[in-house]
């Protein structure tokens, strides 16, 4: 049986490729487990500074496959809740990863597959791709992704996507803020590679991790709580090794240590 996730590493960047091309990389419990395990391994690798998530074949991910839909229809409440929590944990893991995650959307991203792309920090999309959440058209609810999408897009665009269940082309997805950038199919690899290596070379790993932590927590806070949290994080960041070294390098007109390491 082939690996459900193909992994490759280029210096400071790890690529995770969904490897069910015959099923258009549709999500099932086994694929979700494999992806969670590989994300955990990447988090534990101190040498990595960026993760790229993409799909094998012509699609990024077509959501749930037919066997998963049949199983969902036949399962009881406890089994369905367990399966739902499994997917929710994957989305949370990507969203809260201390390493920036880039979705390289090489083809259609539908349902859970679109959710997978939307919880990444960046999503670069091939111009021929279509994206969206068609759940309501089969009587289902896009419940888990709604939690993240509401934060990402706001209520108006989230309602427009989820209540109509229509797919949108890549350009429209970018206009809505669902994805970061649209590029031609021929330029996708280069564009994502440039972004991944920019993150790896130019940014502090600890500063990015703390910034991601704040981005995840601040939307659930009131104004006073958020400002108090921001003051604490600001003060904490000043004492980190990266901030101390970064300021020293700036004052001396030198490259910070993380950039020197990337070049060396």
Q: Any catalytic annotation for residue 135?
A: yes
Q: Which DSSP letter does residue 2 get?
A: -
User: What confidence tens digit (pLDDT) does each residue in 81-133 have?
Assistant: 888 899 999 999 999 999 999 999 999 999 999 999 999 999 999 999 999 99
User: What confidence tens digit (pLDDT) does each residue in 221-242 have?
Assistant: 999 999 999 999 999 999 999 9
Closest by CA to 97, choosing from 181, 199, 28, 6, is 199
Bridge partners of 16? Answer: 7, 53
| CA separation for the pair 128, 220 (Å, rounded) | 35
User: What confidence tens digit (pLDDT) does each residue in 178-206 have?
Assistant: 999 999 999 999 999 999 999 999 999 99
**CA dist 32 → 76, 243, 261 (Å):** 20, 36, 33
Q: Taking 60 as the threshold, does the pLDDT of residue 69 lie above it?
A: yes
Domains of the chain plus CATH, in order, are 5-199 (3.90.226.10), 204-263 (1.10.12.10)
| CA separation for the pair 208, 7 (Å, rounded) | 23
Q: Which of 30, 74, 89, 135 is catalytic?
A: 135
């Amino acid at each position: 049986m082939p690996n459900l996730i193909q992994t490759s590493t280029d210096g400071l960047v790890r690529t995770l490729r969904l490897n069910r091309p015959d099923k258009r990389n549709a999500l099932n419990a086994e694929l979700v487990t494999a992806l969670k395990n590989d994300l955990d391994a990447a988090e534990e690798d101190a040498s990595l500074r960026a993760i790229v998530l993409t799909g094998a074949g012509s699609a990024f991910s077509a959501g749930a496959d037919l066997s998963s839909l049949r199983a969902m229809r036949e399962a009881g409440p406890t089994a369905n809740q367990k399966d739902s929590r499994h997917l929710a944990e994957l989305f949370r893991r990507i969203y809260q990863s201390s390493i920036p995650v880039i979705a390289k959307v090489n083809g259609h991203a539908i349902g859970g597959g679109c959710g997978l792309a939307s919880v990444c920090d960046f999503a670069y999309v091939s111009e021929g791709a279509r994206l969206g959440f068609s759940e309501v058209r089969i009587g289902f609810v896009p419940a888990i992704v709604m939690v993240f999408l509401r934060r990402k897009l706001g209520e108006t665009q989230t309602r427009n996507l989820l209540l109509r269940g229509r797919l949108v082309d890549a350009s429209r997805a970018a206009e809505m803020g669902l994805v970061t950038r649209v590029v031609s199919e021929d330029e996708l690899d280069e564009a994502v590679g440039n972004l991944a290596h920019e993150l790896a070379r130019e940014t502090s790993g600890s500063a990015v991790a703390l910034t991601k932590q704040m981005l995840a927590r601040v939307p659930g806070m009131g104004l006073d709580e958020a400002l108090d949290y921001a003051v604490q994080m600001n003060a904490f960041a000043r004492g980190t090794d990266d901030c101390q070294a970064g300021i020293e390098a700036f004052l001396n007109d030198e490259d910070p240590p993380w950039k020197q390491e990337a070049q060396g």
